[in-house]
Structure 1
Amino acid sequence: MKSLKLSFFVCFFTTVFLSAQTKDITLESIWNGTFRTERMDVLHSLANGQQYSVLNFDRNTRTTAIDIYDYKTLKKVKTLVNSASLDALQYFTNYTFSKDENKVILATNETAIYRRSVLGHYYVYNVNDGSLTLIDKDKIQEPTFSPDANKVAFAKDNNLYIKDLLSGETTQITQDGKKNTIINGITDWVYEEEFAFVRAFEWNAASNKIAFIRFDETNVPEFSMDVYGEGLYQTQHVFKYPKAGEANSNVSLHIHDLETNETKKVKVDKVYNDFYIPRIKWTNDSDILSAHYMNRHQNELDLWMINAKRDTSNLVLAEKDDAYIDVTDNLTFLKDNSFIWTSDKDGFNHIYHYDKNGKLINQITKGNWEVTNYYGYDENTNKIFYQSVENGSINRDVYSIKLNGRNKTRLTKSEGTNRASFSADFSYFINTFSSASTPPEYTLNSAASGNLIKSIKDNDVLSQNLSNYKTSKKEFSTIHINGNDLNMWMIKPADFDDSKQYPLFMAQYSGPGSQSVANRWNGANDYWYQHLAQQGYVVVCVDGRGTGLKGAAFKKVTQNELGKYEVEDQIAAAKQLGELPYIDATRIGIWGWSYGGFMSSNCLFKGNDVFKMAIAVAPVSSWRFYDTIYTERYMTTPQENASGYDDNSPINHVDKLKGDFLLVHGSGDDNVHLQNTMRLAEALIQADKQFDWAVYPDKNHGIYGGNTRLHLYKKMTHFINKTLGDKIEKQKEEKVKEQTIKG
């Protein structure tokens, strides 16, 4: 078809001839670590800008070490600390330096709470004398050095504490913490999940004040999950979870003064009725705290400067949007307390420079492309460093630009995905590069020019290993759907014959601002798609309207109607692809996880004349069941937008089901609750619609652990073969017969 562009560049998995590839990619090989990539773990640039530290794990001795390397030579200078020489702990899993780098917090016995939060035992290691100090005998959260490195603040049992490393004394600075009622300095469930942070307290520069957010969860409804475990009776996990339209935590901002031992509640000169505080950050002035205040609809964001000494507040920036405003960690204060800010207010995400009172100095980056990461500002060269998709929305490159918006330089040279980790003085950066044809490579580069200095680590062993396997090309192109050129990739069988017809299997996620079509190295699902291609499927992924990195209008078109335009695009893409001579339009399937499961369910129901089957893993079946912050950002509340919630809910379209449907969920999913699948299953049952389903006991949203992932992917592969692959088996039998006759 003319509207389907197939002449774009093709990325190859390997550089060897296909004839040399003999082994099949099995599900077992995907999940047993055969294709694991080498990486650099917990990289930290030291303050001198000439060295960096890496966490290294010795598999033989089961010990860990922090090793120091020289940027110029890439040689190891020394081992800062090795757990083999520490009697108190066998190993540690993470580390954090104090500002002067004379002390290090070592983490051990860490256990996950939710997606980002952990409990653990933490020690302070003194680099100068080799001493080791346990911060607290109990498991704690988020231990954080004061800037002067003499104290550590941490959270325990919903309260905040400070340990004085000089005296050894620990002081409790909040008293009212109580499970499922009051949380001090640690985010509640929905903040952690949707605003992507856990530590809700911050030290000021003088180490004499701590600002923290207090969460009053009293009125937030509780959700409970059965935990089946191995005992005779199941237990219950009960936690506060605000579903769309329900009560959130009442949040308040407080500042504790260590010198007076007083805690004051912050008051700003504006009345907020229902609001969020998604970020706090001290400025370079130890008395001035910045805080983001955001309305419940998340389309108004205020930046306040709070004077802790005078108890005054100043609103320096107020942004409004017709849809929503993204919260980031990009706020950066310069020496004069002017600040860097990112915003998509001109239609694309860009970098701005404001003075300390919120007056715009200049817009630093401009263009019909998105800034995708902000790395920082070098005051010595007056340069901003950032990542963007200026070289095509499926690629990432690293750039530098002057603070005044001039002298922009592309620092990375290879087309694909580039990600930088800069030295503290911005003289070097370690670039992580990958593409659909190149596994991750770590190189040392000049921050001034981007020129390669040395290679640090590659994955040549993996590339060589992959050369023994049958792999297919990953073809990037665009497909014109509903007035838009949508990014797409396609994987065909290695022995593809355009005179034959193949079943089509579509993969997607489709959530707001997401991107699934990207020129980067494989994740586990990519190897699964290769496995399916080996079985005789054409696998395709299309990023429809609502996905990211193509401008605010493209991303925010789905506002108030999640699941409408995204589903229309997937159905239209399937129809158009079904018209290709080598696609069997009677055998088209689709799958997705989480938001993608919401999508695949809707596609099968609404597109019942197009899709023969669908798999939905951990799907949202109604946005009424999901949390406030995420859902209301795109939909407002159910009370305000009932039709938006219900018109595109899979539950309300089960009567349209004609094809085969596999529904999968983990019973311990604290994020997208099993309730979604149970309610969808009940709707299907009452509509007398047959379907297959599986519930994985006590597994969370990721559905992993032990043999779980392998079992899940075997189940899904079997379902695909059963519903789409009937002709494939016949073709294989005919091929065997032909070879037998020829023989």
Structure 2
Amino acid sequence: MNLSMLFSSKRAIAAAFAFAGAQALHAQDSVRYSDYQRAESFLGYNTSSLVKNLNINPHWTDANNLLYSLFENGKDVHYTLDPSTGKITTTNVIKNDPPGMFNGRRLSTRGVVSPDGKKEAFIRNYNLYVKVIATGKEIQLTTDGVKDFGYATDNAGWKHSGAAVLRWSPDSKKIATFQQDERNVGEMYLVSTNVGHPKLEAWKYPLPGDSIVAMIQRVIINVDQPKVIRLKKDPDFHRGTLSDDISSSGTFDDVDWSTDGSQLAFVSTSRDHKIETFQIANANTGDVKEIFQEKVATQFESGQGTINWRYLPESKEIIWYSERDNWGHLYLYDATTGKLKNQITKGDWLVTQMLQVDEKKKEIYFMAAGKEAENPYFQQLCKINFSGKDLKVLTPEVGTHKVQFSKDKAYFFDAYSQPNIPATYVVRKSSNGDKVTELGKADITDLVKTGWKAPTPVKLKAGDGVTDIYGLVFTPTTMDPNKKYPIVDYIYPGPQGGSVGSWAFSPSRGDNQSLAELGCIVIAVEGTSNPNRSKSFHDMSYGNMAINTLPDQIAAIRQLAEKFPIDTTKVGIWGHSGGGFATAGALFRYPDFFKVGISESGNHENRNYEDDWGERYNGLLQNSDYESQANQTLAKNLKGKLLLVTGNMDDNVPPFNTYLVVEALEKANKDFDMLIYPNRPHGYGPDAYYMMRRRWDYFVTNLLEKKHPKEFVLGK
């Protein structure tokens, strides 16, 4: 071999080693296309199909039989259970009315069907109509409804959906509703993105501190011979005892008819949600009698999921929900005198939903949280006597129970599970909770074969070092215990909900596990001030929503780093809506702890968000320092990487909330990133998967400090 050939050979060998080394280095510095594919495999549209009997579609018939289906031998098999005998037989495919149909007849889908199934009430041109379903004949019930002063209008502060908000009387002869006055309420504006003149969207949107907000004038309407009876009282604030809206799925959430339709009980809520007034109206004259009031120092809570009060005209009693002893419990009142008769439920746990009331047997069926020591968020079905005696837990298994009663209320279907334990399905007797039969279980065998694993439930201490908090940890399925991983904190701070949401089993929870598969540990922690705990727990951020459970999140991450291989120098955080508010606040208030954040559609300035939200959880503008809580006032503190996201047609949290933060960051000469979705609402619509992919890219680049595949497509 001559000298030139020798040098050429050495150069070739060196080049080969250099190329191999570069490839190895590149592999270490990159999250590959195949990694994104694997991450995608953990999203719901891939995992749900791998779980047999994830939902067995239970349906009670009028004959009190249960129809359900199980996946067996490669197909769905449909069954009928007769709970009185325990006999199970195969049956034909379960058929229900398709959307927009009722007993085979087409509806408007935005109307409300009467209890007898014969009529449907709906809104047209700000007035209320009914349609006779059998013939299609329409009857106009009101004539004086006009723009911004219409009948049965839902969602003050939101663009009107067209759905009617009302409550039929049990005899289908009367309707309880209201005429909503927004005539002088301030407006919100959004402008479309298009070629040519943009479209202006404008609707009534009251803000905290506005002198004029949406009000309702309560009415009762006779249907057969149309007549409007106005209740003889001052207009009420457009408030609900359950949530920040008076409407709930097309019905009043704060009214209750007597059986004969002669009386209407209802609750008026003060503007700041601190005073609840129980009243009973004469449905024929409109006369109103005040029965009692309850006043609280912060905000009144009437339950998590349903309104937890009932009017019992036969016994002249009221079942009332209150947190006066620091826990959400039921109380029995005399409906004539307004005097308290007795406390029904008590203890260091709470009633979340009152499901059934048997006035003759004087029994109440309700869901309760906090009776399980393992996790206070697990919910069980209980029953109790009006007197407070004979409390019985009807679903004793540990976990979250979801129940459906038979038509005669003698039996109920029960699905119970935990975040890491799939559902078991049983039918029980309502009288004592005894099992009639076990129908089956969700089967995750095929899911586990893919390498899937459940999140790890954890119990931690809050930022105060005393209060117990709970959460879920998602780790890579191939986690190396000798390696430190960046952590991503998925946050939704409430205060009407939380990061975990349901504590029932789910094969996927958003993209938490997917993010973990890309090379990090992901957490979702229910911080203090979230619901389904004690009153004092829920009120821990009252008057200062900017706390956003952030001290709890920091404390949780530090504790988890003692149990999991977490690199606490690489902390990311992201959230949507309230979680977007919390995320930007995290990077502004704790800039040395949170290094990377993705803030989606955040209500960064609650003076720019609808009145009922801030005034309920922060208090009235004059009583709370909204200014110091606003994210734009602290934007100058940013040190890490921040991605701000908004849809420019967001009619829930208007984009101007985000623009205020953008303006402050620019004035402070801060670098940040931004993503805008033209013509998209709060959830980004069909662009949600694009946002998810951009979220993965942002954390891979800035938290994992690696390269990512270019323009990976999700949701295809």
Category of TM-score, reference length = shorter chain: 0.7 to 0.9
Range moving further from structure 2, 437-446 or 211-220 = 437-446
1:336 aligns with 2:315: yes
User: Are the counterparts in 1 of residues 489 and 523 from structure 2 also a CA contact under 8 Å?
Assistant: yes
Q: 1:415–1:710: structure 2 CA closer, same or farther, 3 Å change rule?
A: same
Say if 1:458 and 1:142 are closer, same or farther in 2 by CA, change over 3 A: farther
SS in 2 for 1:215: strand
Q: Secondary structure at the match of 1:141?
A: coil
Q: Counterpart in 2 of 1:471?
A: 453
Q: Is the contact between residue 475 and residue 491 of structure 1 (CA under 8 Å) also seen in structure 2? A: no
In structure 2, relative to structure 1, the CA distance for the partners of 1:428 and 1:564 (3 Å cut) is same
Deviations along 1:177-226, one digit per CA (max 9) or x if unpaired, are: 344x1221232344899xx9964322223433222111122112222223
The corresponding residue for 1:734 is none
| Counterpart position of 1:490 | 473
User: Contact (CA 8 Å) 2:110, 2:162: kept in 1 or not?
Assistant: no
Give the C-alpha shift of residue 76 in structure 1: 6.5
Distance 1:218 1:167, change over 3 A: same
Q: Which of 134, 144, 150 is the equivalent residue of 1:183?
A: 150
Partner of 1:648: 629
Q: 1:411 and 1:463, CA in 2 relative to 1: closer, same or farther beyond 3 A?
A: farther
Aligned with 1:26 (options 20, 28, 39) = 39
Distance in 2, matches of 1:236 and 1:432, equals 47
The one of 639, 642, 664 aligned to 1:661: 642
Residue 714 and residue 725 in structure 1: after superposition, are their counterparts in 2 closer, same or farther (change >3 A)? same
CA deviation profile, 1:516-548 (whole Å, cap 9, x unmatched): 34642237435x222232333122232222112
In structure 1, stretches of 5+ residues that fail to align are 1-21, 57-65, 84-91, 94-106, 108-122, 126-131, 730-743
Asked if 1:51 corresponds to 2:65, the answer is yes
Say if 2:684 is the partner of 1:710.
no
* CA distance in structure 1 between the partners assigned to 2:452 and 2:283 by the alignment: 64
Cα offset, 1:603, TM superposition: 0.8
d(CA) in 2 for partners of 1:494, 1:273: 54
Residues 233-260 of structure 1, C-alpha deviations (whole Å, 9 max, x = no match): 5433322221222232231011223455
Amino acid at match of 1:173: L
Alignment CA distance shift 1:400-1:197 (3 Å): farther
Distance (whole Å) between structure 2 residues aligned to residue 504 and residue 78 of structure 1: 50
Q: Give the drift of 1:580.
A: 6.7
Q: Which residue of 1 aligns with 2:199?
A: 235
Q: Structure 1's 727 and 140: CA in aligned 2 closer, same or farther, altered over 3 A?
A: closer
| 2:434 counterpart residue number | 451
Contact (CA 8 Å) 1:470, 1:534: kept in 2 or not?
no
Give the 5 Å matches for 1:73-472: 73=87, 75=89, 92-93=98-99, 107=100, 123-125=101-103, 133-134=105-106, 139=108, 141-145=110-114, 147-164=115-132, 169-179=137-147, 181-190=148-157, 199-228=164-193, 233-246=197-210, 247-258=212-223, 260-268=225-233, 276=239, 278=246, 279-327=254-302, 328-334=306-312, 335-357=314-336, 358-379=338-359, 381-389=361-369, 390-391=371-372, 392-456=375-439, 458-460=441-443, 462-471=444-453
SS in 1 for 2:421: coil
**Residues 266-314 of structure 1: CA distance to partner in whole angstroms, max 9, x if unpaired?**
113xx56856464222122421111211110110011110012344221
Alignment of 1:599-610 (within 5 A): 599-610=582-593
Q: Distance in 2 between matches of 1:362 and 1:159?
A: 43
* Equivalent position SS for 1:709: helix
Larger Rg: 2
Task: Note closer, same or farther for the CA distance 1:598–1:478 as it changes in structure 2 (3 Å cut).
Answer: same
Give the gaps of 5 or more residues in structure 2.
1-34, 71-77, 241-245, 247-253, 709-716
Q: Give the alignment partner of residue 566 of structure 2, picking from 583, 586, 598.
A: 583
Answer yes or no: is the 8 Å Cα contact 2:493–2:548 preserved in 1: no
8 Å CA contact 1:210, 1:255 repeated in 2: yes
Superposed CA RMSD: 3.3
Q: Are the aligned partners of 1:493 and 1:533 in contact in 2 as well (CA < 8 Å)?
A: yes
8 Å CA contact 1:25, 1:469 repeated in 2: no
Instruction: Say if 2:546 and 2:585, in contact at 8 Å, map to a contact too.
Output: yes
Quick one: distance in 1 between partners of 2:489 and 2:105? 54
Aligned residue number for residue 22 of structure 2: none
| Aligned 8 A contact 1:386 1:399 in 2 | yes
Query: Within 2, Cα distance between the matches of 1:161 and 1:317?
Result: 34
Residues 55-103 of structure 1: CA deviation (Å, up to 9, x unaligned): 99xxxxxxxxx998755545476779677xxxxxxxx22xxxxxxxxxx
TM-aligned CA deviation for residue 500 of structure 1: 2.9
The one-letter code of the counterpart of 2:403 is A
Q: Helix, strand or coil for the counterpart of 1:400?
A: strand
Deviations 1:554-573 (A, max 9, x none): 11121111112623333344
The CA distance in 1 between the partners of 2:676 and 2:41, in whole Å, is 21
Secondary structure of the corresponding residue to residue 303 of structure 1: strand
Is the contact made by 1:350 and 1:371 (CA closer than 8 Å) also made in structure 2?
A: yes
SS at match of 1:35: helix
Q: Report the residue type matching 1:322 in the other structure.
A: A
Distance in 2 separating the partners of 1:54 and 1:465: 23
Task: From the superposition, tell whether residues 662 and 578 of structure 1 become closer, same or farther in structure 2 (CA, over 3 Å).
Answer: farther
Tell me, yes or no, if the aligned pair for 2:122 and 2:164 is still in contact at 8 Å: no
Give 1:498-517 correspondences, 5 Å limit. 498-517=481-500
Q: How far apart are residue 489 of structure 1 and its match?
A: 2.8
Residues 214 and 238, structure 2, Cα contact 8 Å, conserved in 1: no
- 8 Å contact from structure 1 (residues 515, 547) kept in 2: yes
The alignment status of 1:539 with 2:522, answered yes or no, reads yes
Counterpart amino acid of 2:207? K
Partner of 1:738: none
- Looking at structure 1, the residues matched to 287 and 158 of structure 2 have their Cα atoms a distance apart, in angstroms, of 26
Q: Distance in 2 between matches of 1:293 and 1:197?
A: 24
Supply the distance in 1 between the matched residues of 2:56 and 2:200 (Cα, whole angstroms). Answer: 36
| Shift, 1:703, TM fit | 2.4
Q: Distance in 1 between matches of 2:417 and 2:197?
A: 49
Alpha carbons 1:489, 1:541 under 8 Å: kept: yes
Structure 1 range deviating more: 649-658 or 169-178: 169-178
Matched residue of 1:248: which SS?
A: coil
Secondary structure of the corresponding residue to residue 220 of structure 1:
coil
1:678 pairs with 2:678: no
Check the 8 A contact 1:594/1:619 in 2, yes or no: yes
Shift of 1:618: 1.3
- 8 Å Cα contact 1:574/1:610 also seen in 2: no
Structure 1 counterpart of 2:130, which letter?
I
Distance 1:456 1:225, change over 3 A: farther
Asked if 1 retains the 8 angstrom alpha-carbon contact of 2:486 and 2:568, the reply is yes
Cα 1:565–1:337 change in 2 (3 A) is: same
Residues in 2 aligned to 1:166 and 1:535: alpha-carbon distance in whole angstroms: 57
Q: 2:711 matched to which residue of 1?
A: none
Q: 2:646 is paired with a residue of what secondary structure? A: strand
